[in-house]
């Protein structure tokens, strides 16, 4: 079945460092790909998305490019802030059965120190 594999955390960075969180996927069709973010004590919220190959999703300084040839959707940010400390989830859509369900990776916890 469809699956998502994320790099294991936790990841600890200093403020203004470059961030990469790797995500690869396995899918039988042509899924849409997403990054969700979960701030401490909150539910998840959509960060960015890409619906077809070579699309780049971006939001709040974060970017991810849908790479079909490498089945990847790595999350990047050029300069992280303390406020980016959160858990990040990669996800893909599953259109089987006529309804869309999201398949989530296990999450990567990011801590940014001042």
Partner 1 sequence: NAGVTQTPKFRVLKTGQSMTLLCAQDMNHEYMYWYRQDPGMGLRLIHYSVGEGTTAKGEVPDGYNVSRLKKQNFLLGLESAAPSQTSVYFCASSGLAGVLIGELFFGEGSRLTVL
Site residues (vs partner 1, CB under 8 A) = 32, 34, 41-46, 49, 51, 89, 91, 93, 97, 99-102, 104-107
By beta-carbon proximity to partner 1, the closer residue of 105 and 112 is 105
Question: Tokens 């802030």 correspond to what residue?
Answer: 81
42 burial type by CB count under 10 A (0-12 exposed, 13-18 middle, 19+ buried): exposed
By beta-carbon proximity to partner 1, the closer residue of 17 and 24 is 24
83 burial type by CB count under 10 A (0-12 exposed, 13-18 middle, 19+ buried): exposed
Rounded to the nearest whole angstrom, what is the least distance from the CB of residue 74 to partner 1 in the complex?
17
By beta-carbon proximity to partner 1, the closer residue of 97 and 114 is 97
């Amino acid at each position: 079945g469809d699956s998502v594999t994320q790099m294991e955390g936790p990841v600890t960075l200093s403020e203004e460092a470059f961030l990469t969180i790797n995500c690869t996927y396995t899918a039988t069709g042509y899924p849409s790909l997403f990054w969700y973010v979960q701030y401490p004590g909150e539910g998840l919220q959509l960060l960015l998305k890409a619906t077809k190959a070579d699309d780049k999703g971006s939001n709040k300084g974060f970017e991810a490019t849908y790479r079909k040839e490498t089945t990847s959707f790595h999350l990047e940010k050029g300069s992280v802030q303390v406020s980016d400390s959160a858990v990040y989830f990669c996800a893909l859509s599953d259109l089987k059965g006529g309804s869309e369900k999201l398949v989530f990776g296990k999450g990567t916890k990011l801590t940014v120190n001042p």
